[in-house]
């Protein structure tokens, strides 16, 4: 298995800069075509082209692998591996000219959906993060680890809001208020993969969000775990990319945050 994972990781760490270059060039052009999949949920021609580039590369080089991607959906495979792809995480940022967006590619074990490989490129931040299960997490070639801050008052957190946030706005604000009152602050980048990667290298102590999808968590979630972080659902259940509720921390503030959320989780956003 390790040789198969290394091969896939090495191949795509060398391929994904091509996708990054495409997104940067497209971002410079005027007249980007934008469609609404739903309220607040956008898709651009750049998303679709970047996804095609990634899926074509997977199918050409690993034709037996399955694929789960944001825009194309599910493609069955027979190798035991499934690629989980978000060609452009942070589409709203992208459409507004912000550089906070990423390309996320992960590989999971098909039967259990356990993350095995995670790669996230941030084209206009000129950096990338990656991990293979059991081999640590890296920013480019440098090993990274979560922070060692252990108190809420000294912690900086980050969050995001689900696309159907109008269904549960009061509850979301309750979470926000509760943590904001006890911490150094809360940030919002607009890209779940960036939140998780910055947590993995110690910029944040914790991240929480409801309404996530597998492609938001598969690659960057593994990077957090390999950086010695901790991930559960917001109600304390084991991490699964199929559960749309995520609490990721440095491990030292995890129980404090679970206590903040206890009895408050609003499943309407699931």
Annotated binding site for Mg(2+): 70, 86, 88-89, 216
**Distance of alpha carbon 265 from alpha carbon 28, whole angstroms:** 41
Contact 227, 234 (CB under 8 A): no
Contact 166, 119 (CB under 8 A): no
**Distance of alpha carbon 113 from alpha carbon 215, whole angstroms:** 11
Closest-CA residue to 83 (of 195, 7, 8, 135): 8
Beta bridge partners of 102: 89
Q: How far does the chain reach from its first CA to its final CA, in angstroms?
A: 34
**Distance of alpha carbon 195 from alpha carbon 17, whole angstroms:** 21
Backbone angles phi, psi at 217, to 5 degrees: -115, -25
Contact 218, 131 (CB under 8 A): no
Torsion of CA 225, 241, 190, 117, to 10 degrees: 50
Binding residues: 70, 86, 88-89, 216
**Distance of alpha carbon 269 from alpha carbon 203, whole angstroms:** 27
Lookup result for tokens 């957190």: 157
Helices (H) and strands (E) in the chain, counts: 7, 15
């Amino acid at each position: 298995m390790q040789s198969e994972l290394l091969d896939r990781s090495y191949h795509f760490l060398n391929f994904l800069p091509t996708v990054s270059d495409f997104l940067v060039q497209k971002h410079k052009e005027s007249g980007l075509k934008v469609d609404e999949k739903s309220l607040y949920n956008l898709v651009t021609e750049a998303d679709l082209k970047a996804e095609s580039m990634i899926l074509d590369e997977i199918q050409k080089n690993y034709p037996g692998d399955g694929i789960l991607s944001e825009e194309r959906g599910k493609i069955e495979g027979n190798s035991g591996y499934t690629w989980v792809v978000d060609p452009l995480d942070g589409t709203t940022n992208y459409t507004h000219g912000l550089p906070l967006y990423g390309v996320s590619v992960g590989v999971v074990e098909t039967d259990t959906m356990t993350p095995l490989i995670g790669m996230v490129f941030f084209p206009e931040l000129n950096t990338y993060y990656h991990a293979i299960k059991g081999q640590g997490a890296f920013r480019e070639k440098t090993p990274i680890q979560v922070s060692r801050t252990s108190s809420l008052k000294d912690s900086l957190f980050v969050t995001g809001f689900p696309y159907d946030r109008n269904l549960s706005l009061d509850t979301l604000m309750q979470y926000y208020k509760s943590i904001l009152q006890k911490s150094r602050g809360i940030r919002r980048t607009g890209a779940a993969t960036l939140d998780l990667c910055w947590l993995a290298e110690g910029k944040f102590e914790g991240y929480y969000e409801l309404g996530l999808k597998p492609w938001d968590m598969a690659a960057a979630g593994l990077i957090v775990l390999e950086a010695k972080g901790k991930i559960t659902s917001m109600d304390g259940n084991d991490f699964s990319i199929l559960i749309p509720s995520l609490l990721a921390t440095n491990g030292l503030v995890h129980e404090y945050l679970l206590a903040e959320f206890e009895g408050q989780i609003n499943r309407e956003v699931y």
